[in-house]
Amino acid sequence: MIRDPVREGLAAGWRVIDASTLERAQDFEADVVIVGTGAGGGVSAEILAAAGLRVVLVEEGPLRSSSDFRMREAEAYPELYQESAARKTLDKAINILQGRCVGGSTTVNWTSSFRTPPATLAFWRARFGLADYTEEALAPWFRSMEERLGVHDWTVAPNANNGTLCRGGERLGIAVEGIRRNVRGCWNLGYCGLGCPTNAKQSMLVTTLPAALSRGAVLLTRLRAQRLLLRGDGVEALECVALGPDGIHPRDLRLRVHARHYVLAAGALGSPALLLRSAAPDPQGVVGARTFLHPVVISAAVMPERVAGFSGAPQSLYSDHFLERDPVDGPMGFKLEAPPLHPVLFATTLHGFGTNHTALMSEFPRTQVLLALLRDGFHPESAGGRVQLRDDGTPVLDYPLNRFFFDAARRALLAMAEIQFAAGAQRVTAVHERCPGWAGWRQARDGIAALPLEPHLLRVVSAHVMGGCAMGDDPRRSVVDGRGRHHGIGNLSVFDGSVFPTSLGANPQLSIYAMVARNVTLLARELGGTQEAPAAETAGG
Amino acid sequence: MVTRRQFLMVGAGAAVLLTAAGMYQGIRERRVAAAGFAQGPLDERARQIVGALVPVMLAGALPAEPSRRVTVARVVDGVGEAVAGLGAAAQEELRQLFALLDLAPARVLLCGLWSPWPQAGEQDIARILERWRFSSLGLLRAAYAALHDLVLGAWYAREESWPAIGYPGPPEVA
C-alpha cells in the first residue's frame, strides 16, 4: 500500500476548502495570499509559513493526489491540465501543456531539473540590469532547493527512447548528457506526466505544500483569482470567484481575501492575466508582453528494436550541442530531449488521419521520438507572444510563428532526423502535415529542406510557458524588480516563471524553485517573519 | 492557389456564417431548454457530424461490424466528454463550429457536401478533411486540428484500442 501524504494530511486536519462546494460567500484574512500552487506558489508557501506568517493559497484546479493517479490519460488530462491538455495559442498553431491542479505543472511534469544556463544569466545581467543574477549568488539557492526536492543524477539506465538520442549523438560527435531528476525512490514507471502514483516525484504536492498546510496554511481550491482590488499604490483585497462542480465554469459566488502582501504565482499566462484583469498601472504595455514557450518541434522514428517509450523515466538524457553552437542572441538554438510516449498524447500529436495514421500507430512500441525545444526571446526577431484576455476574462496567448522561428525549426528537424538515422532508425517522420516519412537520411535531408513550414502544417507544442511579467531594473521595460517586487504596487510580488525576461534554454522548474526561494526569503524577513525559513538556513542567507 | 480576393470572400462568408450559426444555436438552445432537455456537450446534430467523421479519421483502426457501430457511438461519447473538459471558450467555439457545419449553406460552401452528414460517403468525408487540413484559411486548418485531436484522443484513450498498437496499458502499482 502506497502512503498518500495528502489524504493523511486531510485526515489530520489540514485546512482545505473546495470552493465549488461552498454554500455561501466567505472572506479570508492572511499575512500573505498566494495565487497558484505550482513551483512558485509551493516554494513561497513553505518558506512564508515556516517564517510564522499566516498564508492563504488560492488554486483554480482541484486537489488530487497519488490515490487518484491511475496513470490513465483519459482521467489525467481533464483533471490535472489546463484546458484538458489542449490549451492553444490564439491562432491555435501551438498546443500548450500546463498543469492545473494543486501542485500546478510540478504535479505533471517529467522531473527534468536544470540550473539556469550561465549564458542566460549573463544575458539577463547585460540586458535587463539583473546584476545579482550570477551563478555564484544563486548557487546556494539552487543547492538548497536541490536538497529539499531530491534533485540528483539519475543513474538508472535510460529507457530506449532516451538511449537512442545517446547512440545517435555518439555516432555524430554530438555530446549527450544525463538529466538530473527531482525524485526519491523512483520506480522508473514512466508516468510522471499523469501524476506520480508512488509519490516518488518531489513535486510541490508532496513537499512544500504539505509542509505549509501542516503549519496552518489555508488552501482554497477550484477558486479563480479574479482581480486585485487596488487603492493608491497598494492592493486592498483579492477578489475570487468560485468555480462550479465541473471546475471550469464560474459560479455566481465571489469571495475576498485580505492580506498584508499579495503573491502572484499563477504561471506565465495566469499571473499577467490577473494583472490585466485588475487594470494594474502599465503605461508601457509591458504586462503580458514577451511571453515565451520554448516552442517544440517533433521527429518520430521507427526503430528496428522495441523502444516502449511509455515505460521508464521519461526524460533522462539531453543534448545542448545545438544551443551552444551559436551565440545566445544569434540564430535560435535548440535543446534536444525525448518525451514519454502515451497513446493519447502521441496519437493526437501525430499528423494525418485514417489508414496513414493507423499505420504509424501500429508501430507504436518501436516508435522513438525526439523533441527540439527552441530557445526563444534572445534575438530581436524572437519577441515571443502577448497574453490577451478573452471576453470572459480568461487568458489566451497570441504567439505568432515567424520566419526566424521556422528557420530554426527546419534546422532542428534536420538535426533530429540525422541523429535518429545514425542510431539505426528504419524510418523518420517529421511531425508535419505534409511529411510522407523517409527511409534514409539523404531522403530526409532533401524532404525537410522542401517542407513548407507554416502554422498548423508544422506541429508545434510547448510545455514551458515563461515571461509576461518580466523582471528588470527599468520600470518602462519590466513589471517587477529582481526580487519579484512590482515596480508600482508596494505590497505585490510575482514569484513564478512569468518573471523570466527571456526563455531559459532549459526546463524551467528548478530555476523557478531557486529564484523564488531567494526572493520569498527576502520577503519573509521584510514582513517580520519570526522563524528562519529552512531554505535560507541551508543556503546560508 | 487561392487569390487574395477569393480568400477575403470566403473569409467574410465564413464570418457571416459563424455569426448566423451562433444566433441559430442560441435560438435552438432556448428551445431545448424550454423543452426541458439537458444540453450535453454535444447535441444530437453535433453527434451526427462527429459520428460521420469517426469512421474516416479512424479508418483501419475500428473493429468490423457488428461491433463497429457501437464502437463509433462510444468514440462519439468520448468526444463529448473531451469537449466537456475543455475551457469555456473552447467549448463555445466548438459549439459554434458544429452549429455552422450543421447549416446546409455552410456544409456546401466550406465542405462541398450536398447531402446531410449521416448520408455522406466516407470518401466525401475524407476529401473534406484533406481540404481543411491544407486550406489556406487558418480557421479551417484549426477546425481540422481540433477534430483530429478530439477523435483520435477519444479513441486512443479507450483500452480497446491498445492491443492493436502494442500498448500494454499502465503497470500495476500497489
Q: Contact A249/B88, CB-based, under 8 Å?
A: yes
**CA dist list (Å): A416 to A66, A112, A255, A336:** 35, 20, 51, 8
Residues forming beta bridges with residue A238, ordered by sequence position: A228, A257
- Secondary structure letter of residue A368 according to DSSP: E
Q: Which of B58, B132, B155, B156 to mutate to test the interface with A (most CBs of A within 10 A)?
A: B156
**CB-based contact (8 Å) between B158 and chain A?**
yes
Instruction: Identify residue A227 by its one-letter amino acid code.
Output: R
pLDDT tens per residue, range A32-89: 999 999 999 999 999 999 999 999 999 999 999 999 999 999 999 999 999 999 999 9
Domain A27-63+101-149+202-245+470-541 CATH superfamily: FAD/NAD(P)-binding domain (3.50.50.60)
- Per-residue pLDDT at A531: 61
**CB-based contact (8 Å) between B149 and chain A?**
yes
**CB-based contact (8 Å) between A78 and chain B?**
yes
Residues forming beta bridges with residue A471, ordered by sequence position: A480
Q: Contact A364/B165, CB-based, under 8 Å?
A: yes
CA distance linking residue A488 with residue A481, whole number of Å:
10
Grid cell for residue A131: 546584476
**CB-based contact (8 Å) between B121 and chain A?**
no
CA distance linking residue A228 with residue A285, whole number of Å:
18
- Secondary structure letter of residue A159 according to DSSP: P
Contact list, A191 vs chain B (CB under 8 Å): 170
Chain A residues 11-30 with CB within 8 Å of chain B: none
Spatial neighbors of B74 by CB under 8 A, at least 6 apart, are: B158
Q: Is the pLDDT of residue B104 over 50?
A: yes
Instruction: Identify residue A47 by its one-letter amino acid code.
Output: I
CA distance linking residue A381 with residue A60, whole number of Å:
34
CA-nearest of B133, B158, B135, B153 to B144 is B133
Q: Contact B138/A191, CB-based, under 8 Å?
A: no
CA nearest to B160 within chain A? A343
Which residue's entry shows cell 498584508? A260
CA nearest to B161 within chain A? A343
**CB-based contact (8 Å) between A77 and chain B?**
yes
CA-nearest of A318, A357, A356 to A337 is A318
Mean pLDDT for A147-157 is: 97
The minimal CB distance from A456 to the residues B84, B138, B155 is found for B138
Q: Is the pLDDT of residue A12 over 90?
A: yes
Predicted confidence band of residue B25 (pLDDT cuts 50, 70, 90): low
Which residue's entry shows cell 550570477? A134
pLDDT tens per residue, range A448-503: 999 999 999 999 999 999 999 999 999 999 999 999 999 999 999 999 999 999 99
pLDDT tens per residue, range A270-306: 999 999 999 999 999 999 999 999 999 999 999 999 9
**CB-based contact (8 Å) between B106 and chain A?**
no
CA-nearest of A29, A23, A21, A25 to A62 is A21
Spatial neighbors of A494 by CB under 8 A, at least 6 apart, are: A263, A264, A265, A271, A469, A471, A479, A480, A484, A486
Q: Contact A433/B60, CB-based, under 8 Å?
A: no
Question: What is the rounded radius of gyration, in angstroms, for the C-alpha atoms of chain B?
Answer: 17
**CB-based contact (8 Å) between B152 and chain A?**
yes
User: According to the 3-state scheme, what is the secondary structure of B79-148?
Assistant: HHHHHHCCCHHHHHHHHHHHHHHHCHHHHHHHHCCCCCHHHCCHHHHHHHHHHHHCCCCHHHHHHHHHHH
Instruction: Identify residue A300 by its one-letter amino acid code.
Output: A
Q: Contact A361/B134, CB-based, under 8 Å?
A: no
**CA dist list (Å): B101 to A87, A223, B165:** 23, 35, 32
Cα A128 → chain centroid: 22
Mean pLDDT for B108-132 is: 94
Q: Is the pLDDT of residue B16 over 60?
A: no
Q: How far is A139 from chain B (nearest CA, A)?
A: 37
- Per-residue pLDDT at A529: 80
CA distance linking residue A340 with residue A190, whole number of Å:
7
Which residue's entry shows cell 450535453? B40
Contact list, B82 vs chain A (CB under 8 Å): 78, 84, 86
Q: What angle do CA A313, A153, A80 make, to 5 degrees?
A: 40
CA distance linking residue A41 with residue A264, whole number of Å:
8
pLDDT tens per residue, range A75-127: 999 999 999 999 999 999 999 999 999 999 999 999 999 999 999 999 999 99
**CB-based contact (8 Å) between B90 and chain A?**
yes
Residues forming beta bridges with residue A88, ordered by sequence position: A95
**CB-based contact (8 Å) between B114 and chain A?**
no
CA distance linking residue B127 with residue B133, whole number of Å:
10
CA nearest to B58 within chain A? A354
Q: If residue B9 lies in a helix (H) or strand (E), which one and from where to where?
A: helix B4-34
Q: How far is B91 from chain A (nearest CA, A)?
A: 10
Cα B125 → chain centroid: 11
pLDDT tens per residue, range A498-531: 999 999 999 999 999 999 999 999 999 999 988 6
CA-nearest of A278, A241, A204 to A486 is A278
Q: Is the pLDDT of residue B39 over 60?
A: no
Chain A residues 162-221 with CB within 8 Å of chain B: 187, 189, 191, 197-198
**CB-based contact (8 Å) between A394 and chain B?**
yes
The minimal CB distance from A86 to the residues B149, B162, B164 is found for B149
Q: If residue A262 lies in a helix (H) or strand (E), which one and from where to where?
A: strand A250-264
CA-nearest of A252, A251, A262, A253 to A229 is A262
Q: Which of B128, B130, B148, B150 to mutate to test the interface with A (most CBs of A within 10 A)?
A: B148
The minimal CB distance from A394 to the residues B85, B88, B133 is found for B88
**CB-based contact (8 Å) between A290 and chain B?**
no
**CB-based contact (8 Å) between A248 and chain B?**
yes
Contact list, A311 vs chain B (CB under 8 Å): 171
CA distance linking residue B74 with residue B67, whole number of Å:
11
SS3 assignment, position A91: coil
CA distance linking residue A52 with residue B70, whole number of Å:
59
Q: How far is B138 from chain A (nearest CA, A)?
A: 7
SS3 assignment, position A193: helix
Q: Contact B86/A84, CB-based, under 8 Å?
A: yes
Q: Which of A88, A159, A353, A360 to mutate to test the interface with B (most CBs of B within 10 A)?
A: A353
**CB-based contact (8 Å) between A318 and chain B?**
no
**CB-based contact (8 Å) between B142 and chain A?**
yes
- Per-residue pLDDT at B32: 44
Contact list, B61 vs chain A (CB under 8 Å): 358, 361
Contact list, B90 vs chain A (CB under 8 Å): 83, 86, 88
- Per-residue pLDDT at B19: 52
Mean pLDDT for A394-416 is: 98
Question: What was the ipTM of the complex prediction?
Answer: 0.95
CA distance linking residue A513 with residue A39, whole number of Å:
6
CA-nearest of A161, A160, A159, A146 to A114 is A146
Inter-residue contact A263 to A257 (CB < 8 Å): no
Strands A223-231 and A180-182: unpaired
Contact list, B129 vs chain A (CB under 8 Å): 353
CA distance linking residue B56 with residue B132, whole number of Å:
14
User: According to the 3-state scheme, what is the secondary structure of B126-141?
Assistant: HHHHHHHHCCCCHHHH
Contact list, A72 vs chain B (CB under 8 Å): 157, 170
Spatial neighbors of A359 by CB under 8 A, at least 6 apart, are: B60
Interface size, chain A vs chain B, as Cβ–Cβ contacts under 8 Å = 131
Q: Contact B89/A396, CB-based, under 8 Å?
A: yes
- Tell me the backbone φ, ψ of residue B155, rounded to 5 degrees: -75, -50
Number of residues written out for chain B: 174
CA distance linking residue A482 with residue A128, whole number of Å:
9
Cα A195 → chain centroid: 14
Percentage of chain B exceeding pLDDT 90: 72
CA distance linking residue A208 with residue A219, whole number of Å:
13
Q: Contact B142/A361, CB-based, under 8 Å?
A: no
SS3 assignment, position B8: helix
CA-nearest of A222, A149, A212 to A9 is A212
- Per-residue pLDDT at B18: 52
Of A319-333, A374-388, B39-53, the one with minimum mean pLDDT is B39-53
Q: How far is A34 from chain B (nearest CA, A)?
A: 23
Mean pLDDT for B85-112 is: 93
Cα A84 → chain centroid: 15
Residues B65, B66, B72, B74: is their CA dihedral positive or negative?
Answer: negative
Grid cell for residue A145: 532547493
Predicted confidence band of residue B41 (pLDDT cuts 50, 70, 90): confident
**CB-based contact (8 Å) between A67 and chain B?**
no
